[in-house]
Structure 1
Amino acid sequence: MKKLALVFVGAALALTACDKAKETTTVSSTSDASGEVVKASLNMTDYAMRAALGNNPNTAAYVTIANKGSTADRLLSASCTCATTSTLHTMKMNGTVMEMAEAKDGFEILSGDTLTLAPGGNHIMLEGLTERPKAGDKVDVTLVFEKAGPITLSMPVSNTPLAKTGTSGNMDHGDMKM
């Protein structure tokens, strides 16, 4: 009888653990090639990485993060084993010059707001590539949030990631400032 009770308790704990996992992290299929990842109150879609082009030692990654919760969260950092350094970058135009700078405090995502990291805008900069991501690959990028903690996305790699979401338009990339 004790063995039966232990088996029952073990099965109940396993089911509870499965239910808990469903609450914290799920992947569901959507029309996006990358799907949707949900953790806590954050929904991540449109995640992708740009393929390493030519001999460029850097590339970028992108994601759209919607905060469906009742409190703000903050994207603090990102990391990828494919690069020696991963930083969150802001990008803005100053006349015809595109200026990039590290977002040292990360990006706050208020309750009900959406943060879009996309080509031609804010992004995750992957510098000092140790691996050369190529179109068709999937590369894990871990995002660290103040409240939700770490979330790893398996990002598809493309030569033109999220072209429909963001564009660099007529920016003069030759005058780029870091």
Structure 2
Amino acid sequence: MSRALTIVLASLALTACSQGEAARQGDAAGTVQVSGALCRPTPVGRQTTGCYLTLTAAADDRLVSVSSSIAGRAQVHESRMESNMMMMHELKEGLPLPAGQTVELKPGGNHIMLLAVTEPLKAGDTVPLTLTFASAAPVEVAAAVGQPALTDSGHAAH
């Protein structure tokens, strides 16, 4: 009887291990990595600012919304040239995140806009952001407040 019990326990242990591994692989397939989160300081008298970061999704996904406790609203925007003017528009359908590809939100391109910011943001502060995706679990980020790095030409990196 002890041999039969040992076999049953070993089988149960192997089953539990393989289910745990499958769950971990499933979690990895549905994750989005976030790096380099940065929000600009708010100019005097302004209640809006842009935030930038880099996203890499393990599986095809979409950034569908952003929220922050320090802003009345947060939107995912794109910047594009229209009639020789740079225009910003909200990406109402969200931002596609192709599997394994790095998607950079940056000045002059796709970015996060914080609107109705409740307190002025200054360099050294942090901004809590909650990123919500179509498939992956939400990700909470503490974005640093500062200026984006400048290129050799003296402009914000694009």
Question: Normalising by structure 2, what TM-score?
Answer: 0.74
Tell me the residue number matched to 2:136. 148
Within the candidate set 84, 92, 95, 1:104 is matched to: 92
d(CA) in 2 for partners of 1:167 and 1:92? 16
Aligned length: 132
Tell me the residue number matched to 1:122. 110
Answer 1 or 2: higher relative contact order, Cα 8 Å, separation at least 6: 2
Deviation string for 1:38-78 (max 9, x for gaps)?
994322111111111111120011111012x2x30110000
Q: Contact (CA 8 Å) 1:79, 1:142: kept in 2 or not?
A: yes
d(CA) in 2 for partners of 1:142 and 1:131? 18
How far 1:168 moved relative to its partner?
A: 7.4
Tell me the residue number matched to 1:139. 127
Structure 2 stretches lacking a partner, 5+ long: 1-19
Structure 1 stretches lacking a partner, 5+ long: 1-18, 25-37, 170-178
Specify which structure has the higher proportion of strand: 1
Residue identity opposite 1:59 in structure 2: T
SS in 1 for 2:43: coil
d(CA) in 2 for partners of 1:83 and 1:163? 26
Within the candidate set 22, 33, 41, 2:31 is matched to: 41
Residue identity opposite 2:84 in structure 1: T
Within the candidate set 41, 52, 55, 2:42 is matched to: 52
d(CA) in 1 for partners of 2:137 and 2:122? 28
How far 1:112 moved relative to its partner?
A: 2.0
Q: Contact (CA 8 Å) 1:119, 1:162: kept in 2 or not?
A: no
d(CA) in 1 for partners of 2:30 and 2:150? 28
Provide the alpha-carbon RMSD of the alignment: 2.6
